[in-house]
Amino acid sequence: MDTYRLQSELQTFATERDWQQFHSPKNLAMALNVEVAELLEHFQWLTQEQSANLDDNTRQAVATEIADVQIYLLRLADNLGIVIEQAVTEKMEENRAKYPADKVRGSAAKYTEYQN
């Protein structure tokens, strides 16, 4: 995914509509939360099996919500000057240290449950 290209396209989209004034980090974070809630609605009350086997219409609706989440996340990162690839790389390094594969394989326990 070319996040720089997408961020540029989203910035242009917002600028053409004079929406920059509404895209403060606070507003984008709030909008992101709303979109995540809309994504969750599609899975509410489903069993594990049902959630893994969505019908075509629900799968498309989920894809649309995932896109909305990504759009707001990209706008938020762009507004705050956060390079998503760098942030993800750094977070994965932290996760590798907190969750070494030899200690956590097959476990859903939080890292605090097995660290000294």
Kindly report the three-state secondary structure assignment for every residue of 64-111.
Answer: HHHHHHHHHHHHHHHHHCCCHHHHHHHHHHHHHHHCCHHHHCCCCCCH
Task: Tally the domains of the chain.
Answer: 2
C-alpha span between 46 and 52 (Å, rounded): 9
- Domain holding 55: CATH number? 1.10.287.1080
Is pTM beyond 0.85 here?
A: yes
| pLDDT value at residue 114 | 77
Judge contact between 28 and 79, C-beta under 8 A.
Answer: yes
Query: What pLDDT, in 10s, does the model give residues 46-83?
Result: 999 999 999 999 999 999 999 999 999 999 999 999 99
Same domain, 28 and 73: yes
* Chain length of the chain: 116
* Domain enclosing residue 73, as ranges: 3-82
Regarding whether 66 and 90 lie in a shared domain, the answer is no
Indicate whether 16 pLDDT > 70: yes
Q: What is the pLDDT of residue 111?
A: 83
Residues 86-90: contacts with CB under 8 Å, at least 24 apart: none
> Does residue 59 sit in the same domain as residue 31?
yes
- Considering the domain architecture, whether residues 104 and 60 belong to the same structural domain is answered as no
Of 29, 54, 32, nearest to 43 (Cα)? 54
- Asked whether the predicted pLDDT for residue 1 surpasses 90, the reply is no
Q: Give the model's pLDDT for residue 116.
A: 63
